[in-house]
């Protein structure tokens, strides 16, 4: 037996203390660290950029990149103004080919830097069936010439300031432009009378024997202008419909006619500084005998300008007593 007073314990009894009991873990607090905030901002920015890119791609797909050249359209018409500069609202009503009326919404400007401002004005018509129509008449009014080439060679628009048309034969059809801006060509043969019979005409120069004769005939038809005036008219495009009237032909075959010289003389009028003695008319002295008169009284004469409604003279002044 062991005595309690000795302070010793039995060998099977341990002196170590049991480990303390750990409390359960606390739930995490609902807050974001700085790293989480930064990643959240990055994800939001990426989402915004994806949305913007999708909107841009959708706009690019909806933007009109091609238009139909239409000689029957009085203005440029587009379904929408994406890719163009909107210049203001529009209350214009557009008449369609089927007789319907479409309402315009805005006016816009074409994004074509090669064109003048007057040729870039367009109208937005949301109900337009065709996506875009470019008006040949609009280009014509702005000083451009449109040429539709045969087959698959396309169409070209030229600035009249740098364009000269040369033809080798007369046109097979020729028309005119109406007040509304559209072109009309005759569909009957104008060289026939009312009975359908052919009528001979002699108002052309295509049967003349040479180019010189053509230039001489048309020069006379124009009133015998000077060479400089004729060349200036050709360069400005005023004689496009005159066959053979080109700068090369006129420079080579210009006729030095008497009518041109006499019509443009600068001479001094005759008799302005003549040294010839003037003829004196012989008069009968008996008819022009001057009889000296007898002086009876003095006459005071003063010449004044009646248009000024005033007269100035050296008078005696006011008398002190009014005479009876």
Query: Domain segments of the chain: what residues?
Result: 34-63, 68-145, 164-168+201-264
Spell out the SS3 assignment of the chain: CCCHHHCCCCCCCCCCCCCCCCCCCCCCCCCCCHHHHHHHHHHHHHHHHHHHHHHHHHHHHHCCCCCEEECCCCCEEECCCCCCEEEEECCCEEECCCCCEEECCEEEECCCCCCCHHHCEEEECCCCCCCEEEEHHHHHHCCEEEEECCCCCCEEEEEHHHCCCCCCCCCCCCCEECCCCCEECCCCCCCECCCCCECCCCCCCCCCCCHHHHHHHHHHHCCCCCHHHHHHHHHCCCCCCCCCCCHHHHHHHCCCCHHHHHHCCCCCCCCCCCCCCCCCCCCCCCCCCCCCCCCCCCCCCCCCCHHHCCCCCCCCCCCCCCCC
- pLDDT, one tens digit for every residue, the chain (324 residues): 444 444 555 555 555 566 676 666 665 554 556 667 777 777 888 888 887 776 665 555 566 778 888 888 889 999 888 888 889 999 888 888 777 889 999 999 998 888 999 999 999 998 888 888 999 999 989 999 999 998 888 999 999 888 888 888 888 888 888 877 888 888 877 555 455 555 555 555 556 678 888 888 888 888 888 888 899 999 988 888 888 888 888 888 888 888 887 777 666 777 777 777 766 555 555 555 666 677 777 776 766 666 666 666 666 666 666 655
């Amino acid at each position: 037996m062991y005595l309690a007073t000795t302070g010793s314990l039995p060998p099977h009894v341990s002196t170590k203390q049991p480990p303390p009991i750990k409390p359960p873990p606390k739930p995490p607090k609902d807050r974001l660290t700085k790293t989480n905030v930064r990643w959240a901002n990055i994800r939001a920015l990426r989402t915004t950029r994806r949305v913007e890119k999708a909107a841009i791609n959708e706009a690019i797909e909806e933007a009109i990149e091609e238009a139909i050249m239409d000689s029957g359209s009085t203005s440029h018409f587009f379904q929408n103004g994406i890719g163009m500069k909107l210049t203001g609202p529009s209350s214009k009503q557009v008449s369609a080919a089927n007789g319907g009326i479409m309402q315009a919404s805005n006016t816009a400007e074409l994004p074509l830097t090669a064109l003048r401002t007057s040729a870039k004005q367009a109208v937005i018509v949301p109900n337009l069936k065709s996506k875009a129509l470019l008006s040949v008449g609009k280009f014509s009014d702005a000083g451009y010439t449109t040429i539709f080439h045969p087959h698959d060679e396309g169409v070209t628009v030229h600035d009249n300031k740098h364009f000269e048309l040369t033809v080798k034969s007369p046109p097979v059809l020729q028309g005119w432009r109406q007040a509304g801006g559209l072109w009309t060509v005759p569909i009957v043969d104008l060289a026939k009378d009312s009975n359908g019979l052919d009528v001979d005409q002699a108002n052309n120069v295509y049967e003349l024997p040479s180019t010189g004769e053509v230039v001489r005939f048309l020069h006379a038809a124009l009133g015998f202008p000077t060479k400089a005036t004729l060349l200036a008219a050709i360069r400005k495009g005023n004689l496009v419909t005159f066959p053979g009237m080109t700068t090369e032909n006129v420079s080579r075959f210009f006729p030095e006619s008497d009518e041109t010289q006499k019509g443009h003389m600068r001479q001094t009028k005759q008799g302005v500084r003549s040294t010839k003695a003037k003829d004196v008319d012989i008069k009968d002295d008996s008819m022009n005998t001057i009889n000296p008169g007898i002086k009876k009284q003095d006459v005071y004469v003063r010449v004044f300008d009646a248009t000024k409604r005033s007269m100035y003279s050296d008078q005696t002044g006011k008398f002190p007593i009014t005479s009876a």
